[in-house]
Structure 1
Amino acid sequence: MDDCGRVDDRQGTAARGHSAATLYEASTHSLACSASLQPAWPGAEVSGRAFTVRGRGGDNLALHHAVLQAPSGTVLTVDVQGAEYGHWGEVLAVAARTRGIAGLIIDGGVRDTEAMSQMGFPVFSSGTSVVGTRKDWFGQFGGTIRVGGAAVRSGDLVVADADGVVIISAEHAREALESADERVAKEAAFMDQLRNGATTVDLLDLPSIERTQSQSGP
């Protein structure tokens, strides 16, 4: 909980602490967003249920209203068509933090990245820009949007960290988390074997140089 009594999921409780890479590899139902979506500041990470917003490039009125509409603990997940404007900055980040919003994923530009880093508000965007925006269109909330090339619906699980942004459909989220739990346990045993001298070639049954040479003959 944050100091306003609202859920703050920046520590990854919605994803049980699993990384984006682990969840992507553990589930066949996960979607990886384009690498164009990057953390706005080093160390940013967030997980939670998506609250989807469809806006217009160069117009951020939808984002102001999304802050009012989104349930506490959700991740604002926004399609503004990758437009290179400063759709989101320190003012909206403070407003969102106060209302318990966990973070922002936006296919479009943001600004004030240093200020958001200092306050620890996690943002993933397709770029940064100082160019200002209009405030004309209220936008659309809920439903399916596309962010970084991946389809996202309100309620889907969103996990974002230094490795990328992953979307898992709401109906498969529990299954994905359980698969990730199993994967992490197996990887822990795998790491122990490596520390005790086993090789990745043997453990993964990869082709070896010696085996290949013996099969090809002199």
Structure 2
Amino acid sequence: MSNLGFRIFTDFERPSKELVNEFRELPVANIDDNMGRISAVDSAIKPYNKSKLLGPAFTVKVPQGDNLMFHKALDLAKEGDVIVVAGFGYTERALCGEIMMNYAIMKKFAGFVIDGAIRDVDTTRGLDFPVYARGVQPNGPYKNGPGEINVPVSVGGQVVFPGDIVIGDEDGLIFVRPEEAPELIEKVKAFNNNEKNILGNLDKGIPMDREWVDKTLNDRGCEIVE
């Protein structure tokens, strides 16, 4: 029987680089609009610099305030991976700081997503390496385990599987299953084009169609008093 709660899956199927790169210029907000508007990660998990995030998820599940498995992930993840750490939202001990971030840069990882805390935040803001976290705390972590690597985890209210495509910008984060990505990409591109047309018309002084506002109010029985 496998050792539930304390196990490592060393590898998983990653999406093609070509598929991942299709998301490079797509805003997280527009992706979420085409995923039911219920798929973005909890807004409490914020970017700590302006670097955009994109890559396949390398998932890690750790106990509150313990980063043993996070360290092991640094040894196992591959170039271009996003290390996604499920830390139960605990923010009273940092799970990583400047040294781990710079090690990840050396290994050419794509970024960190941490449902927990980080430290050395001043340095983090100056890195060309995307880091998303729930908070900042100078208290350091324990290194005892247990934990799991490359299992499905919950981060910021969303489930993420190893190999899911992680997209992050200054608005926030979203995870996309690779098998759902091709159709989603086409929808988001069409959505983007429509937005560009609207903005172009506004620049020309052409107003938007606003009839839907009154129709919705009427359909929902809103009373209008003049």
Instruction: Identify the TM-score tier after normalising by the shorter chain.
Output: 0.7 to 0.9
CA distance in 2, matches of 1:24, 1:204: 25
TM-score, normalised via structure 2 length: 0.81
Q: In the alignment, residue 155 of structure 2 is paired with which amino acid? A: V
Decide which moves more: 84-93 or 174-183. Answer: 174-183
Q: Superposition pairs for residues 115-130 of structure 1, below 5 Å?
A: 115-130=123-138
Q: Superposition pairs for residues 1-218 of structure 1, below 5 Å?
A: 13=21, 15-28=23-36, 31-41=39-49, 43-84=50-91, 85-137=93-145, 139-200=147-208, 202=209, 205-207=212-214
CA distance in 1, matches of 2:54, 2:110: 8
Decide which moves more: 86-95 or 26-35. Answer: 26-35
Deviation at 1:191, TM superposition (A): 1.3
Deviation at 1:135, TM superposition (A): 0.9
Identity %: 27
How many aligned residue pairs are there? 202
Q: 5+ residue gaps in structure 1? A: 1-8
Deviations 1:83-107 (A, max 9, x none): 1211111110111111111001110
Q: Does the 8 A contact of 2:118 with 2:137 survive in 1? A: yes
CA distance in 2, matches of 1:54, 1:216: 53
Deviation at 1:175, TM superposition (A): 1.7
CA distance in 2, matches of 1:13, 1:171: 15
- Please give the root-mean-square deviation of Cα atoms over the aligned residues, in Å: 2.6
Secondary structure, in 3 states, of the residue corresponding to 2:95?
coil
TM-score, normalised via structure 1 length: 0.83
CA distance in 2, matches of 1:156, 1:14: 14
Query: Which aligned segments of 4 or more residues in structure 1 are displaced greater than 4 angstroms?
Result: 215-218
Q: In the alignment, residue 146 of structure 1 is paired with which amino acid? A: S
Secondary structure, in 3 states, of the residue corresponding to 1:207?
helix
